[in-house]
Structure 1
Amino acid sequence: MTPHDVKPAHEAGRERGRGAHKGQQTRAAILDAALSLAAQMGIEGLSIGALAEVTGMSKSGVFAHFGSREELQISVIREYHERFEEEVFRPAMRQHRGLPRLRALIKNWVSKVATEIDSGCIYISGAVEFDDRPGPVRDALASMVLLWHGALNKAIQQAIDLGHLRADTDPMQMLFEIHGLILSLHHDARFLRSAGAVDRARVAFERVVQYYAQGAPHPLFPNAAPTGAAPV
């Protein structure tokens, strides 16, 4: 090797940077394919071999990005959660605290479920798959769901503190009821193919809100809500 064969440090650095960027792009493409596959086959249907087939990569190429089937499954759960936050949680944070923010969170959640009627919600389908299967995959899924529940619980508590909901409101009970209507929406829209499931979920949420806001110091209700179709 001659001095001319040695690349300057800045050129070598650029090459390493390009390589790292390409690796990130490849990993993102694999995760896209994995999310689509999980929507069709469930988290348990994910495997290094299945992803290699749908992406046109070698098994060793997919393995290099995740290391194991379990790590692949956990990475898909985390990626789904990141996208869930991007679509549901973060836009709602632009609303004022209290009922405006809580309503935005639920509106976005209902919309998310509505767009997943054909593909299914990984949080819900994953719970069915792993409810009785302890291990790291179940733990990862449960931790993501609990993070979301924590955000909802905080929004409910803020609505109580601001006087939008009664002081005696139990945040966990209200959250339980809201989660129940989301599960009903998923069941009726996806399994029964009920055309009115989304509207019923929105009406159900407003009934929950009105129950807990009754007698509150400063309740906030939508103006001119159409009969039978209260907006979220």
Structure 2
Amino acid sequence: MAATRTDGRVERGNQTRRLVLDRTMAIASAEGLEGLSLGRLATELGLSKSGVFALFGSKEELQLATVRAAREVYIRQVVEPSRELPAGLARVWRLCESWLDYSRRRVFPGGCFLFAVSAEFDARSGPVHDAVAQARLEWTTYVEITLEKARRAGQLRADADVPLLAFELIALMDAGNLHSVLFDDAGAYTRAGTAVLHRLRAAAHGAAAGERAVAVSSLPARFEV
């Protein structure tokens, strides 16, 4: 009986933690991680402030937990769909397409969570800055790895500058997110996606003829939402 009661308390605590983090991710994407407070969350969610404090202990830990939770959402929404495809340009495009769709659908109200908090913490120092920087580095590295696998598969030029190409693709997607959120411009995603496609086609030129044909045929003419 004691174990059952303990298990029940743990599960209720996990449910409350998930409830709180769903709210903190939404707030932080639009207002920043500094917009989080234990008191605000308790009021908005109908919880006791002491209960929220018991789950996180401090505002900094709440911010760090929010970054970790958003990273998990990012992986599910953006990264995992691309893993369904074999290494190559089609996987690169699926990764970019998933990112644009994740931002366009407003999985987080403020658009891309990582973009928003990176702008907030880029010039700061401390554990939260480090967590945000690490998440951003993981994303950049994953794009580079995905491109490098496409290059090794013969679907990009042998001399392709993979870090530069990754930088360009991420910059185009970030620009689509920024313009959409700032100007309420849904067409920004079409422009960003089409620009990404143009860049990928250009990078495929010079690849082995057979592989280039396969790679380019896997890409749509333009990105449509």
SS of the residue 2:125 aligns to: coil
Query: Counterpart of 1:197?
Result: 188
Query: Counterpart of 1:96?
Result: 86
Query: Counterpart of 1:44?
Result: 34
Summarize the alignment of residues 196-215 of structure 1 with structure 2, pairs less than 5 Å apart: 196-215=187-206
Ranges of 4+ aligned residues in structure 1 off by more than 6 Å: none
Q: Displacement, 1:148?
A: 1.4
Q: Do the aligned partners of 2:33 and 2:63 also contact (CA within 8 Å) in 1?
A: yes
1:106 matches 2:104: no
Q: Do the aligned partners of 1:118 and 1:190 also contact (CA within 8 Å) in 2?
A: no
| Aligned counterpart for 1:186 among listed residues 166, 177, 185 | 177
Query: Counterpart of 1:6?
Result: none
**Distance in 2 separating the partners of 1:77 and 1:224:** 33
Q: Displacement, 1:135?
A: 0.7
Gaps of 5+ in 2: none
Q: Displacement, 1:91?
A: 1.5
Cα deviation code 1:1-53 (max 9, x no counterpart)? xxxxxxxxxx2212211111111111111111212222332111011111111
| Aligned counterpart for 1:84 among listed residues 58, 63, 74 | 74
Could you tell me the percent identity over the aligned residues?
34
Larger helix fraction of residues: 2
Q: Displacement, 1:120?
A: 2.5
Query: Counterpart of 2:217?
Result: 222
Summarize the alignment of residues 116-135 of structure 1 with structure 2, pairs less than 5 Å apart: 116=106, 118-135=109-126
Q: Do the aligned partners of 1:97 and 1:155 also contact (CA within 8 Å) in 2?
A: yes
Across the aligned residues of Structure 1 and Structure 2, the Cα RMSD in angstroms comes to 1.8
1:58 matches 2:55: no
Query: Counterpart of 2:6?
Result: 16
Query: Counterpart of 1:146?
Result: 137
TM-score, normalised relative to structure 2: 0.92
Q: Displacement, 1:192?
A: 2.1
**Distance in 2 separating the partners of 1:125 and 1:79:** 15
| Matched letter for residue 125 of structure 2 | P
Q: Displacement, 1:223?
A: 5.9
SS of the residue 2:216 aligns to: coil
Moved more, 91-100 or 111-120: 111-120
Q: Displacement, 1:118?
A: 4.7
SS of the residue 1:166 aligns to: coil
Query: Alpha carbons of 1:133 and 1:184: their partners in 2 closer, same or farther (altered >3 Å)?
Result: same
TM-score, normalised relative to structure 1: 0.89
Query: Alpha carbons of 1:55 and 1:230: their partners in 2 closer, same or farther (altered >3 Å)?
Result: closer
Q: How many residues align?
A: 220
